[in-house]
Structure 1
Amino acid sequence: MVQSSVRGEGTRARDRSAAGAGGSHSGGATPEGGDAGGGRRGRSPRRRGRQHGILRWSAATLAVLILGAAGTGYLYYQHLNGNIRKGERTSGDSKAEKAKPNAAGQTPLNILLIGSDSRNSTENVKLGGSRDQVGSKPLGDVQMLIHLSADRKSAAVVSIPRDTRVDIPKCTDPETDETFPATNNIINSSLGRGGAGCTLATWQNLTGVYIDHWMTIDFAGVVKMADAIGGVEVCVEHKMWDRPLPGTPGGSGLRLDAGKQKVKGKQALQWLRTRHAFYSDLGRAKAQHMYMNSMVRTLKDQNVFTDGGRLMGLAEAATKSLKVSEELGSVKELYDLGMQLKTVPANRITSTTIPTVVDQQNANHLVPAGADAEKMWTMIRDDIPFDKGGDPKKKPAAEKASKDPAAADDEIGVMVRNGTRSATLGPVGGRANAITQLLAQQGFTKAAADQSAAVAEDKTVIRFPSAELEGDAQRVAKSLGIPLSSVKKSTDVTGVTLVVGADWRTGTAYPKQSAPKAGELPKDADAVSGSDSDACMPVYEPYRL
């Protein structure tokens, strides 16, 4: 489900003809802070000798969203502010648009959580080993998106496995000014190509979801947070030891008895890093989700919001453990964020992993699983709950027609692009020409096919550059049966541009698609409910004791 920015072809409002439009161009920042970007294939950055798992998302990061902040006096407040490390929200080209408010004026909130494998401190080397990696660029081996619904009544958490191949946009490291060209590589490499801001831009291009903030944590931060919480209950089905075995070096060192027990400090880090004993990276992601959910329940049970001393201890650990995007760079912003998430009941928090398939280019890598992955991104973009606990009578927002009147069909210039390439399937040849002919038959005689190489667009989309062309773009959509929700304003194009996506690979009739319903997740999403206190991880037989 790799998405690429679409550089538009076409004409401006006063010359509605598509004839003579040529070449792609780089767009400037969108009003929402996005840029146009491209991609190219690159080599995997997997490191020699790293046989065991690196830090996957420390669910303890979520604690800062729950605990709020202490601040019993101005000096202490300033002290906490001084603990917080900050960075630019985005450092890469991205085109995602911020969601529009619902009828009540509310908007969803999206936070990207990143676990870094950095060895660039004495503490991290002690906890993570691999001294030969000191000084090298970190990998973002844990990446999770927390989506808080507009009404703040539900939350969804989505992980992407570290070895998932995606398009990574052009990024510039804000600390060194080093520029990295766009590439196609596994997603964990994005952190070393411009910091967390590059990872955020990568996610935005992949998902079409505007991400408000990022937060990162490293090995040492995991331990600090786990100790501050006082331990988190986990469960395994068998007595286990994740250790080196013949032919399988590495291992986290995690050793547990069967059943429920609390882990804290270094043992909590081992839980979050365990991969072999939990079968795979996908199993490890599920174990991390269980840890996160258990941690949320623990904090709620401790009622930390009414215990000043407890709250101060957690705030101290959180502000020392995290690096955050600059707009979150104060205790007040973190506190406000925590208060919003605090309202979500545990049974309305659903944690998942994006559906993936084996990468045909490299059997050790994954790619998003086409329609199933796109379904999950659609649910987040459209703010559809991952659980069935919402209002079953709630109807999707009605599509709004533009107030801009459309020109006559034979005066509307339309550039048609082939976007049928996907992560798992090659492009369908001739699709731009076929749909251009269809438009001409329907009276859009100024439609023209873009003959450049096919791009990747999971869903068919019609883009327009300015308000005076919105009516024209919607007229094209109506004529083809494409929903108005697929008509998007974009500075990436110079005229009305139709990109025929991977959802329309054959035929001249646009395939009817029903919107996902609440709780209607793909079967391979491996969802875990935040209220499931009996969830227990299975253990791969060689690691049982």
Structure 2
Amino acid sequence: MAQSDVRGKGPAVDDTMSLAPQASDGPGGHGGGRRKGPPKTDRQRHRRRALRWSATVLAVVILGTAGAGYLYYEHLNGNIRKGERSSGDDSKAHRTPANAAGQTPLNILLIGSDSRNSDENVKLGGAKYDRGSPPLADVQMLIHLSADRKSAAMVSIPRDTRVDIPECKDPGTGKVYPATNAIINTTLARGGAGCTLATWENLTGVYIDHWMTIDFAGVVDMADAIGGVDVCVKQNVWDHSTPAQRGGSGLKLKAGTHKVQHIQALQWLRTRHAWGSDVMRARAQHMYLNSMIRTLKSQNVFTDTGRLMDLAEAATKSLKVSEEIGTVKKLYDLGTELKSVPTDRITSLTMPNVEDPQNREHVVPVRASADKMWQMLRDDVPFDKNGEESGTKQVASKPKAKTPSVDAGRLGVLVQNATQTSTEAAVPNRARDIAGALGQKGYVRAAADTSGVAKPADETVVQYPSAELEGDAQAVAKALGIPMSAVKKSTDVSGVTLVVGADWRTGTAFPQQKAPKAGDLPDGSDAINGSDSKQCMDVYKPYQW
């Protein structure tokens, strides 16, 4: 449908004509006979017929335009592909408590797929033999909007990060994929984007509200709809095959700033070798998205009907989204929420990582730094220092203190060793040591779990199965200095159970961690502020020309 159909205007109406009701029949305009007066002239009768005709035509035009708008809206809705929010099992993530104004953060996982399952994607992204192969989630970025919508973050995880992937079920085929430890970009082929989301929640403890995926062709269409995005390189770059490294995106630019669109936009986002690493590729992607946001803001696209429709057409064709945001209105609302964030309150960064000791081609999180980043997201702490910290503080609901049902000496407490991580083995005898510490606090019936069934856990928790044992679980936590927020009800336990997580690998007193402050970013996060338009990529020497 042509854009003019949607934005069309009705015929001009003479300023002297009114669409208000004309002389009515009696009081209140209903019955009572016609108002008496001099007989109508031919001109007056003609004018009244013209007025009725004009009003009728105007009504038809308005209804027709509204109908066209409705049909176009339904057309856009029909473009959108949808899927289940999560296909994983046993998520450890919990929603962040609301702030004083009752607002909560919004987390959206953006996934770039390398799918070659269409002619266009094969042409843009790889050889014909790749067609039909399982897609990989080569770009993964969490977009975090603060509860007050005054700040935002875009956090990337390198595609070759080795993580624990939970059990996932493909919503289309019903196939169940068992839990495994593998690189994170394989999650898209293990139950779709819902499995990628579940893996992120398992790694970070951050509740993720929605996901969006976009493929090669979608990136090209979006870049063209925007009119191109400014990027910068410090040296001439050509990302091509070399004797030492096969492959390459084909990106070829001279030093300086360029507006990339169509295939060049895709090449920029896919380039890795010329930047030197996956971490630097994430930096280039962050620079691109920051530049795109600045471009959209400068174009005022949200108030330009024509540009908005072009972008809406491209976006709805390009994206697949989790089903709870699968309408144009909901996607538009998300866009306007992101639009409200000033660019100097947007921070792009990458999860701190190091080379995987099991495979030098992969990376693993730097636990302390990554955990700090995840905590900041969970607590909705801004990654920048450009706002009022008090505006984003969360008001956590403190659990009401309950009276223990039995004395400490009569309570059985099971202690589990869950200190294993993806890079470190479980600390030997950890459950026994903590059970001994509890014994010194009067819990003489505390015992280490020797069944060996404890799953690795990032955080220490005290679990209880039913309401009557909540006070007992709280008392156990208090005895060891564990925060009350770590006391949780669980149907997986039959009595009070202390799960010692990876955050407590040493000592018998629970380590007290200082709450991070706004802008207190962990080392190795490679942060970029969204207002920084002077960012420019360094080119790895073999790819300079």
TM-score, length-normalised on structure 1? 0.84
Aligned to 1:508: 508
Q: Deviation of residue 208 (structure 1)?
A: 0.8
Q: Deviation of residue 309 (structure 1)?
A: 0.6
Cα distance in 1, alignment partners of residues 496 and 352 from structure 2: 33
Aligned to 1:163: 160
**Unpaired segments ≥5 residues, structure 1:** 1-69
CA contact (8 A) 2:98 2:395 kept: no
Cα distance in 2, alignment partners of residues 392 and 260 from structure 1: 35
Aligned to 1:348: 345
CA contact (8 A) 1:244 1:250 kept: yes
CA contact (8 A) 2:97 2:394 kept: no
C-alpha spacing 1:423/1:78, structure 2 compared with 1 (3 Å): same
CA contact (8 A) 1:80 1:319 kept: yes
Choose the corresponding residue for 1:216, options 207, 213, 218.
Answer: 213
- 2:251 is the counterpart of 1:262: no
Cα distance in 2, alignment partners of residues 271 and 317 from structure 1: 19
Aligned to 2:34: none
Q: Deviation of residue 465 (structure 1)?
A: 3.7
Aligned to 1:142: 139
Q: Deviation of residue 393 (structure 1)?
A: 4.9
Cα distance in 2, alignment partners of residues 270 and 486 from structure 1: 46
Equivalences for residues 25-104 of structure 1 within 5 A? 73-95=69-91, 96-104=93-101
Cα distance in 2, alignment partners of residues 443 and 305 from structure 1: 64
Q: Deviation of residue 148 (structure 1)?
A: 0.8
Cα distance in 2, alignment partners of residues 412 and 166 from structure 1: 37
Amino acid at match of 1:419: A
C-alpha spacing 1:423/1:201, structure 2 compared with 1 (3 Å): same
3-state secondary structure, aligned to 2:98: coil
Amino acid at match of 1:437: G
Q: Deviation of residue 468 (structure 1)?
A: 3.8
Q: Deviation of residue 498 (structure 1)?
A: 1.4
3-state secondary structure, aligned to 1:385: coil
3-state secondary structure, aligned to 1:505: coil
C-alpha spacing 1:146/1:490, structure 2 compared with 1 (3 Å): farther
Cα distance in 1, alignment partners of residues 336 and 287 from structure 2: 22
Deviations 1:213-250 (A, max 9, x none): 00001001111101001000001111111111112111
Which contiguous aligned blocks of 4+ residues in structure 1 show a shift greater than 6 angstroms?
A: none
Q: Deviation of residue 506 (structure 1)?
A: 2.0
- 2:144 is the counterpart of 1:117: no
Cα distance in 2, alignment partners of residues 192 and 530 from structure 1: 32
Aligned to 1:517: 517
- 2:459 is the counterpart of 1:459: yes
3-state secondary structure, aligned to 1:523: coil
Q: Deviation of residue 473 (structure 1)?
A: 2.1
Aligned to 2:531: 531
Deviations 1:280-317 (A, max 9, x none): 11100000000000000000000011111111000000
Cα distance in 1, alignment partners of residues 212 and 338 from structure 2: 15
C-alpha spacing 1:489/1:516, structure 2 compared with 1 (3 Å): farther
Number of aligned positions between the proteins: 476
CA contact (8 A) 2:232 2:255 kept: yes
3-state secondary structure, aligned to 1:76: helix
C-alpha spacing 1:169/1:401, structure 2 compared with 1 (3 Å): closer
- 2:438 is the counterpart of 1:439: yes
3-state secondary structure, aligned to 1:525: coil
Equivalences for residues 41-440 of structure 1 within 5 A? 73-95=69-91, 96-393=93-390, 397=395, 400-407=398-405, 408-440=407-439
Amino acid at match of 1:452: S
Q: Deviation of residue 91 (structure 1)?
A: 1.0
Cα distance in 2, alignment partners of residues 207 and 268 from structure 1: 30
Amino acid at match of 1:239: N
C-alpha spacing 1:465/1:536, structure 2 compared with 1 (3 Å): farther
Q: Deviation of residue 494 (structure 1)?
A: 3.4
CA contact (8 A) 2:111 2:211 kept: yes
3-state secondary structure, aligned to 1:513: coil
Report which of the two structures shows the higher radius of gyration computed on alpha carbons: 2
Cα distance in 2, alignment partners of residues 213 and 396 from structure 1: 21
Kindly report the root-mean-square deviation, in angstroms, between the aligned alpha carbons of the 2 structures.
1.8
**Unpaired segments ≥5 residues, structure 2:** 1-65
Amino acid at match of 1:93: D
3-state secondary structure, aligned to 2:524: helix
Cα distance in 2, alignment partners of residues 412 and 338 from structure 1: 53
Cα distance in 2, alignment partners of residues 291 and 109 from structure 1: 22
Q: Deviation of residue 399 (structure 1)?
A: 6.3
TM-score, length-normalised on structure 2? 0.84
Cα distance in 1, alignment partners of residues 119 and 197 from structure 2: 28
